[in-house]
Amino acid sequence: MDTNRVVLVTGANGHLGRNLVPALVQRGYRVRATVRDTADPARTAGLAIPGVELHALDVRDERRFSEVAAGVDLLFHVAATYKNYTADKAEAEEMVRDSIEGARAAVQAAAANGVRRLVLTSSLVTVPLMPKGGRTTTEADWRTDFRLPYHKAKTLAEQEAWQLARTRGVDMVAVLPGALLGPGFTRGTSSTDAVENMLLGAFRAGVPDQNFPAVDVRDVVRGHVLAAESGAGGRFILCNDVLPSFSEMIRILRTIDPSVPAPGPLIPRFVLPLAPAFDWINHRMLGTPRMINRDFAAAVGGKHWTMSNERAKRELGWRQEVPLEQSLADTAATLRRLRAGARRGPVPATA
């Protein structure tokens, strides 16, 4: 497909952006890729690709956003701060503010420049979790539990974008990916941190009786392209057909590399309030990324991801193509390289 049309991708240095940009180039698009600071080599590494223009953009800056979007046919607003674990109130408030202001600026830029379609990268966390065995959730469901700042940020930002898009007459579609796994990231995320904890043995004493909303970044890239090029509108959940338990993910990692520590028994629900303390101990003793604070344990503990990807299959023609085994192997291999480069100590080797 050779469209010779210009598309804009914000947040090109993130896990999704780094995979989406080259995929769009391969489809014949000319890509404007934005990062917050083009003078920062850590943000621009790997983005010097023929057919890609790099631009500096703080997505909260509506005037600059509109300038960069001039002449664009499709706008992929991917940029986001992704942290399930936040250290303080100021950091949490900034995450919410940045998400809402960035979404608002993206819609305004699309409206000002007559962009044909805006593809907003939202998140599966905008859909509520359910008690184990609860009903299947869909795109019609919205999260109302805002104890976690990231959940609040993504939900309110998408809702703001929908309201403004209707007012400004912008053709917008929202993609709701699960936890991104797979290759192509240059720093850990809250999604890959879970895998890193598994590799380092953080669950040897016990594993939560919960599942994980996994999806491979390559499948999410295809979902974004389908959302942009189809006439389908609304919200689309992108997650694996079966959302694995933590125990199942560790079992798969152990088939890839038997040196990965085996998981302990399932943690009873009444023990979950102690999870932040165990998370701190693992961080100090094993060097694992921090994952759990009290708000996280309260918001997620004892609940399951029950959402369905049926709408994306039916209306976009999307399918999960990357097996979980491959996705976990590629995630682990990337984590091993990053950890070795940072000299943070070994992650068990994977094939």
| Helical segments of 233-301, H only | 246-256, 275-286, 294-300
How many distinct structural domains can be found in the chain?
Answer: 1
pLDDT score recorded for residue 350: 36
Q: Enter the DSSP assignment of 173.
A: E
Three-state SS at 208: strand
Residue 108 forms part of a structural domain? yes
How many residues does the structure list for the chain? 351
Looking at the predicted structure, is the pLDDT value of residue 340 above 60?
Answer: yes
The answer to whether residue 230 is domain-embedded is: yes
Cα 44 to Cα 204: distance, rounded to the nearest angstrom: 38
Inside any domain, residue 142: yes
- Cα separation, 335 vs 348, in Å, equals 10
> Residue 1: pLDDT band by 50, 70, 90 thresholds?
very low
Is pLDDT at 292 greater than 80 in this prediction?
no
Contact at 8 Å (CB) between 56 and 100? no
Q: For residue 310, tell me if it sits in a domain.
A: yes
Amino acid sitting at position 15: H
pLDDT in tens, 50-94: 999 999 999 999 999 999 999 999 999 999 887 766 767 888 889
The answer to the question of residue 262 being in a domain is no
In this structure, what CATH number is given to the domain that contains residue 219? Answer: 3.40.50.720
As given in the structure block, the two tokens for residue 17 are 């952006």
350 within some domain:
no
pLDDT at 298 over 60: yes
pLDDT of 146 above 90: yes
Distance (Å, rounded) from C-alpha 266 to C-alpha 223? 34
Is residue 351 predicted with pLDDT exceeding 70?
no
DSSP H/E element including 269: none
pLDDT at 324 over 50: yes
pTM of the model: 0.93
Task: Please write the tens of the pLDDT for every residue from 18-59.
Answer: 999 999 999 999 999 999 988 888 888 888 899 999 999 999
Give the domain range for residue 237: 6-181+214-241+305-322
Q: Of 130-139, 214-223, 340-349, give the lowest mean pLDDT range.
A: 340-349
231 CA to centre of own chain? 24
Residue 114 lies in a domain: yes
Q: 3-state secondary structure string, 75-87?
A: EEECCCCCCCCCC
Q: Which residues on neighbouring strands pair with residue 303, listed in sequence order?
A: 131
* 98 assigned to some structural domain: yes
